[in-house]
Amino acid sequence: MSVPRLETSITEAFSIIDSGLAEYVFPFAAQEIGYVTSVATGIVKVSGLKGAGFEELLKFSESLYGIAYNLDEEEIGVILLGEDTLLNAGDEVQRTGRVMDIPVGDHLIGRVIDPMGAPIDGKGTVVSTKRLPIERPSPAIMDRTAVNSPLQTGIKVVDALIPIGRGQRELIVGDRQTGKTQIAIDAILNQRGKDVICVYCAIGQRASAVAKVIANLEKNGAMEYTIVMVAEGNNAAGLKYIAPYAATSIAEYFMEKGRNVLIVYDDLTHHARAYRELSLLLRRPPGREAFPGDIFYIHSRLLERSTHLSDKLKGGSLTALPIIETESQNISAYIPTNLISITDGQIYLSPKLFEAGNLPAVDVGKSVSRVGSNAQLPVYKAIVKLKLQYAQFEELENFSRFGTRLDESTKKVIDHGQRIRICLKQNELNPLTVPEQIVILLALTNGLFDLIPIDKVAEAEAAILKNMSQFPDDVMKNLFGDQPLKDEDHDLILKMTNEMLAPFLKAELDKTST
- Domain holding 323: CATH number? 3.40.50.300
Q: Please, are residues 126 and 118 in contact by the beta-carbon 8 Å criterion? A: yes
Residue type, 219: K
Which of 83, 99, 115 represents a domain boundary (last residue)?
99
The answer to whether residue 13 sits within a structural domain is: no
372 is an annotated ligand-binding site residue = no
421 is an annotated ligand-binding site residue = no
Q: What are phi and psi of 215, to 5 degrees?
A: -65, -40
179 is an annotated ligand-binding site residue = yes
407 is an annotated ligand-binding site residue = no
Helix, strand and coil percent figures for the chain, each rounded to 5: 45, 20, 35
Distance from chain centroid for Cα 28? 46
181 is an annotated ligand-binding site residue = yes
The answer to whether residue 8 sits within a structural domain is: no
Residue range of the domain that includes 433:
381-513
What pLDDT does 1 receive? 46
Distance from chain centroid for Cα 114? 16
The answer to whether residue 402 sits within a structural domain is: yes
Specify whether 217 is located in the same domain as 355: yes
Active site residues: 370
Specify whether 428 is located in the same domain as 327: no
178 is an annotated ligand-binding site residue = yes
Helix (H, G, I), strand (E, B) or coil at 67: strand
193 is an annotated ligand-binding site residue = no
What pLDDT does 30 receive? 72
Omega of the bond prior to 267 within 30 degrees of 0, cis?
Answer: yes
Tell me which H or E stretch contains 98.
strand 92-99
323: which strand partners? 172
Which of 376, 399, 420 represents a domain boundary (last residue)?
376
pTM for the model: 0.91
Distance from chain centroid for Cα 148? 20
Smallest CA-to-CA distance from 177 within 364, 429, 355, 334 is with 355
User: Over its length of 514 residues, how does the chain's per-residue pLDDT go in tens digits?
Assistant: 444 554 556 777 777 777 776 777 666 667 889 999 999 999 999 999 999 999 999 999 988 999 999 999 889 999 999 998 889 999 999 999 999 999 999 999 999 999 999 999 999 998 888 999 999 999 999 999 999 999 999 999 999 999 999 999 999 999 999 999 999 999 999 999 999 999 999 999 999 999 999 999 999 999 999 999 999 999 999 999 999 999 999 999 999 999 999 999 999 999 999 999 999 999 999 999 999 999 999 999 999 999 999 998 888 999 999 999 999 999 999 999 999 999 999 999 999 999 999 999 999 999 999 988 888 999 999 998 999 999 989 888 877 776 667 788 888 999 999 999 999 999 999 999 999 999 999 999 999 999 899 999 999 999 999 999 999 999 999 999 889 999 999 999 999 999 999 988 766 656 655 5
Q: Tell me, what CATH number does 40's domain have? A: 2.40.30.20
What pLDDT does 279 receive? 96
The answer to whether residue 18 sits within a structural domain is: no
196: which strand partners? 260
Count of positions (residues) in the chain = 514
What pLDDT does 18 receive? 73
96 is an annotated ligand-binding site residue = no
Which of 354, 376, 398 represents a domain boundary (last residue)?
376
Q: How many domains does the chain have?
A: 3
Q: Please, are residues 303 and 271 in contact by the beta-carbon 8 Å criterion? A: no
Specify whether 62 is located in the same domain as 210: no
Specify whether 77 is located in the same domain as 190: no
What pLDDT does 6 receive? 46
What pLDDT does 145 receive? 95
